[in-house]
């Protein structure tokens, strides 16, 4: 089962992705967690410490340039990446973590050769994985333009009950339709009232498959720097219900 989380920045993608990793592990599944966000937080939320070399591959610019065989304006479109998971994967208790990050240049530019290496590595990880895969994608819609999400079994679009979040979700749903992607599901986050649920339903024309409530346990863990693998509370219960729903959707 391969799951990608996307949505507007700040809606809680990484939080829900981490909770889902835990819920999948509770069901006895091995899990590969991939952080492909330019500002990666998934490793910290999963309890991996900074001293465990949580350096995003996107920051290893010399390595990426070498793999892209970058020489002036020329570079390979088929860089060698097969050995990178063994060198940079972190492993703990049936959970594997790969921190890719994403490259963003000052002024909005993109370092295309290095980004090519990261995109190919992401595709390799997803397609070769023998376990459940949870990918925390970069915020926004750019990865739909690159069709990075195509190999996924589920694309979970995380939304919060405010207009900016809903506008980004609308763009994602439109692009997913153009790519003929199925199993694109809305997941609500920090839903406080029935009015919040109604706003999402009316704004997107669909009901979230599940809504995560506002949970003080999550906020307290964030403030204390604790792993979300240690908490209990309504958000964790929602993650377990989400896991049950995804597992019930056929033999994936």
**For position 223, which CATH number holds?**
3.40.50.300
Look at residue 141 and tell me if it is in a domain.
yes
More reliable by pLDDT, 144 or 246:
246
pLDDT of res. 108: 43
Q: Which helix (H) or strand (E) holds 244?
A: helix 234-247
Look at residue 252 and tell me if it is in a domain.
no
What domain count does the chain have?
1
pLDDT of res. 109: 46
pLDDT over threshold 60, residue 233: yes
pLDDT of res. 146: 57
DSSP, residue by residue, 12-24: SHHHHHHHHHHHH
pLDDT digits (tens, 9 = 90+) for 184-193: 999 999 998 8
**Whole-angstrom Cα distance, residue 110 to residue 216?**
38
pLDDT over threshold 80, residue 78: no
In the numeric block, the tokens 């979230």 are attached to 208
- Provide the domain limits for residue 232: 2-247
In the numeric block, the tokens 């209990």 are attached to 232
Averaged pLDDT for residues 136-161: 78
Averaged pLDDT for residues 235-249: 95
Length of the chain: 252
pTM here? 0.88
Averaged pLDDT for residues 240-251: 88
């Amino acid at each position: 089962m391969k799951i990608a989380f996307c949505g507007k920045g700040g809606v809680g993608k990484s939080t829900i992705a981490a909770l889902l990793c835990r819920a999948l592990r509770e069901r006895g599944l091995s899990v590969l967690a991939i952080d492909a966000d330019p500002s990666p937080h998934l490793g910290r939320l999963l309890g991996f410490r900074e001293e465990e070399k949580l350096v995003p591959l996107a920051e290893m610019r010399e390595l990426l340039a070498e793999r892209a065989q970058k020489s002036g304006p020329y570079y390979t479109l088929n860089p060698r990446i097969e050995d990178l998971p063994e060198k940079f994967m972190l492993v703990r208790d049936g959970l594997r973590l790969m921190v890719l990050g994403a490259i963003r240049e000052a002024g909005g530019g993109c370092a295309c050769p290095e980004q090519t290496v990261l995109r190919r590595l992401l595709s390799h990880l997803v397609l070769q994985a023998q376990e459940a895969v949870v990918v925390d994608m970069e915020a926004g819609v750019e990865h739909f333009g690159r069709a990075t999400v195509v190999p996924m079994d589920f694309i979970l679009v995380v939304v919060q009950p405010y207009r900016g979040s809903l506008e980004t979700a609308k763009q994602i749903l439109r692009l997913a339709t153009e790519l003929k992607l199925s199993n694109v599901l809305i997941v609500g986050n920090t839903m406080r009232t029935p009015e919040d649920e109604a706003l999402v339903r009316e704004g997107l024309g669909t009901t979230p498959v599940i809504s995560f409530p506002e949970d003080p346990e999550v906020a307290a863990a964030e403030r204390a720097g604790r792993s979300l693998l240690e908490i209990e509370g309504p958000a964790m219960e929602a993650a377990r219900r989400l896991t049950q729903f995804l597992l019930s959707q056929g033999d994936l």
